[in-house]
Amino acid sequence: MAKKKKQKRTFEFRVRIDGLDIAAAPTVCSTDLDHLLEKRSAVSYVFIPLAGPDKKRQSVDRAAAKARIKAELPADDWYDGELRVSDNEHAIPGVLAFNVRRRSAREIAEKVGVKLFFWGTSGAPVEQHAVKLFKDDGTHAWKTVRRRAFGGLSDIFDTIRNIETLPTAVQESQTTLQKFRQLVYVVLGICTAVGLLQTTAVELLGTVARVVLYPVVIPAVFVGIYLRVLVRKGEEQARDFTVAEAEENWHKVAPHLLALWALCFTAVTLLTWLQSAPEPDISFLGRTSGVTTSFIICVWMLLPIANSRGITTLFSSALEAGVTAAISIFAITISLFVTDQITDAIWGLLAAILPFVIPERMMQVIDFVIDIGAEVFFVAVLLGYAWSRTRRQFTRL
């Protein structure tokens, strides 16, 4: 007997405002909501359920929970509504407000304890958004990670082909080419000075200097702060981008982001070549080079710095980025170890089969080429995954 295919869950939220009974669903334009936005001179709306779609509480408990949650909402005009889910016969209470930024809505929804919310603007379909920015597909399976990694690599190659639009991309990022050049001069100039004065600084400051002057820190901090200014300018827009607008904007600004990655790589390479402390080759990270290790950590540090709203969010997001970077480096190390084991097994098999001895020099050259190729491949995949997260962040702010 064929297994019955599970039907996709659908959502619809309803609300009554100014005598209008309004119903809206994701991916569908609502003329009623458009009229309501025009009537209230608002640019966007957000609907947040007050319970998850799987909750089936009793009416008394639901009313008490609703009153408690509403008391914790920010001081805006919130209108009562309900969320209808295709596989749940019970209506879920929710609230609707106007001119709430999507990032604020995400924080409110996370505080409420739900996994999704709905946002929209005039003339655009209702959008369903996940509270957890990088977990909206509900899985971290290898298939999903691989899809994002190769999707990120493909987008990087597309961006490289459009790199001649860099001046336009800088302007689309709400900054100027002059400020971008100034950032390049400052970062490379400081890295050069730090590399040349590293020995003296370590003698004077000891361990503190070893941490502060680690190749990752300087480019990550300066480029992260530069990005933070751009993110703040984006937050000052009249309203958030729709998904379609965000995708279009990403293609305009992506060359600018890729140029900033290239700046980080140049700075990390420069500091490593100048023997910045600590030693660029760290034994417990395997044979991955100091440049590779530092660059991976650097790109994972950019977004936490750029999107931090305070010390608490900075440390929490930096911790998440640090763990991800460590896992990335560990994955490279394990991958290279497995590659070595397979290569050794193949050499052993060939030695047993072939009637002659393979020259040692030839084996070393082939091993070197395999190791370099494997490291380049795995680093490229990890950077593709990091780029896909960067794209997701910039298209979902």
User: Strand pairing partners for 14?
Assistant: 23, 82
Confidence band, pLDDT 50/70/90 cuts, at residue 92: confident
Listed in sequence order, the residues at least 6 apart from 1 whose beta carbon sits closer than 8 Å to its beta carbon are none
Q: Residue 259: what pLDDT?
A: 93
Burial bucket for residue 52 (CB in 10 Å: 0-12, 13-18, 19+): middle
pLDDT at 1 over 50: no
Q: Residue 277: what pLDDT?
A: 42
pLDDT at 233 over 80: no
pLDDT at 71 over 80: no
Q: What is the 3-state secondary structure (H, E, C) of the chain?
A: CCCCCCCCCCEEEEEEECCEEEEECECCCCHHHHHHHHHCCCCEEEEEECCCCCCCCCHHHHHHHHHHHHHCCCCCCCEEEEEEECCEEEEEEEEEEECCCHHHHHHHHHHHCCCEEEEEECCCCEEEEECCCCCCCCCCCHHHHHHHHHHHHHHHHHHHHCHHHHHHHHHHCCCCHHHHHHHHHHHHHHHHHHHHHHHHHHHHHCHHHHHHCCCCHHHHHHHHHHHHHHHHHHHCCCCCCCHHHHHHHHHHHHHHHHHHHHHHHHHHHHHHHCCCCCCCCCHHHCCCCHHHHHHHHHHHHHHHHHHCCCHHHHHHHHHHHHHHHHHHHHHHHHHHHHHHHHHHHHHHHHHHHCCCCCCHHHHHHHHHHHHHHHHHHHHHHHHHHHHHHHHHHHHCC
Provide the sign of the torsion angle of the four alpha carbons 102, 103, 104, 106, taken in this order.
positive
Q: Residue 113: what pLDDT?
A: 79
Length of the chain: 397
How far is the C-alpha of 108 from the C-alpha of 119, rounded, in Å? Answer: 13
User: Strand pairing partners for 11?
Assistant: 85
Confidence band, pLDDT 50/70/90 cuts, at residue 278: very low
Tokens of 321: 């980025």
Interval 1-27 mean pLDDT = 76
Bigger pLDDT: 209 or 377?
Answer: 377
The model's pTM is 0.72
Bigger pLDDT: 300 or 184?
Answer: 184
CA 134 from chain centre, in angstroms, equals 7
Confidence band, pLDDT 50/70/90 cuts, at residue 227: confident
Average pLDDT of the chain is 76
How far is the C-alpha of 51 from the C-alpha of 105, rounded, in Å? Answer: 15
Confidence band, pLDDT 50/70/90 cuts, at residue 258: very high
Tokens of 170: 């800088």
> How much of the chain exceeds pLDDT 90, in percent?
6
Query: For 283-326, what is each residue's pLDDT tens digit?
Result: 433 344 567 777 888 888 887 777 766 666 556 666 666 666 67
Q: Are 22 and 14 in contact (CB under 8 A)?
A: yes
Tokens of 304: 């936490």
Q: Residue 359: what pLDDT?
A: 82
End-to-end CA gap in the chain: 46
Nearest in space to 397 (alpha carbons), one of 170, 106, 117, 28: 106
Give the least confident one: 23-32, 122-131, 236-245, 268-277. Answer: 268-277
CB atoms within 10 A of CB 47: 26
Confidence band, pLDDT 50/70/90 cuts, at residue 66: low
Q: Could you give phi then psi for residue 208, rounded to 5 degrees? A: -60, -45
In angstroms, what is the C-alpha Rg of the chain?
26
Q: Residue 5: what pLDDT?
A: 55
Confidence band, pLDDT 50/70/90 cuts, at residue 173: confident
pLDDT at 36 over 50: yes
Interval 181-208 mean pLDDT = 73
Q: How far are the Cα atoms of 8, 130, 303, 392 from residue 138, in angstroms, in the given order?
A: 14, 10, 22, 15
Residue-range domain boundaries for the chain:
11-130, 142-336+375-395
pLDDT at 57 over 60: no
- Strand order of the sheet with strand 20-24? 20-24, 11-17, 79-85, 88-98, 44-49, 116-121, 127-130
Nearest in space to 296 (alpha carbons), one of 375, 204, 363, 191: 375
Q: Residue 114: what pLDDT?
A: 81
Nearest in space to 84 (alpha carbons), one of 107, 118, 132: 118
Q: Residue 272: what pLDDT?
A: 77
Confidence band, pLDDT 50/70/90 cuts, at residue 159: very high
How far is the C-alpha of 277 from the C-alpha of 212, rounded, in Å? Answer: 9
